[in-house]
Amino acid sequence: MAHIPQLLSRGLSCSFEFGPPRDEKGEATLARTIEELRKRDPTYVSVTYGAGGSTRDRTHDLVVEINNEMGLTAMAHLTCAAHTQADLEALIVRYRNAGIENILALGGDAPVGYDGPAGELQYSSELVALIRGLGDFSVGVAAHPEPHPRSISLAADRDHTAEKLASADFAITQFFFEARHYFDLVDALAQRGVTKPVIAGIMPATSIAAIARMAQLQGSEFPEWLAAKLYAAEDQGPAAVRAVGVEEATKLCEELRAESVPGFQFFTLNLATATREICDNLGI
């Protein structure tokens, strides 16, 4: 396996994000999805981490299985919220001992209804430093093109992103629907002296209700022009809505690729169809 920056140096990257399944049905669905998408020879894949570590063991086991048994470079997500430093250190060492070389360091959120102690690390930049001290890892961070909903201003968000990316190796953005948000982020980081790779997070809008909810949660705009196209297709059924979402995601990727984006990370929601169709459209 390899560190993700080494893989990014080879040219345009294509990666897929998966989440630990909750039950046997989910396990079967994810197994089919991974089997289908691994044929695309992804640069790497990543595995999400539930709020407050609610999927800690399932994330670990899935990352190790993908990395060590499926022959794919796998990156583990890890969050600070609701963790002691000892918890984090133990998990990082587990990953190191299992041969995992790539971690995405996130601030994260506590689980809904959680009333336990706050995490001992407050910021993802602190987690980056902790990971660095425990092994030879490649470390990524998240970036918000639109920006983070808790940021007091766009400039403050860009400052914070530049600060944490300065100590990390690369960033992956939250999803967005208009390329101008990505370009503004990258330009703002460059103005602050940070030129490390920023991978574009891509979420095709295949369900109107789901994408509207997720956009609201992460503080992203659900553009009126996109909503209008999706609603116009709704009467024709879910396949028509997905087709619109795939078409618009393809256009977004083409616009980004024309400006030399270092890579795409597709948020699959453990389903292969839309991601496969976008990759076909792009010739990936």
Angle at 269 between CA 195 and CA 166, to 5 degrees: 15
Peptide bond into 145 cis (omega under 30): no
Catalytic residue among 17, 126, 248, 277: 17
d(CA 144, CA 69): 33
> What are the tokens at 42?
């992804």
Say which residue the tokens 């890579």 belong to.
263
Structure-token pair, residue 52: 């407050």
Whether 248 is a known active-site residue: answer no
Task: List residues with catalytic annotation.
Answer: 17
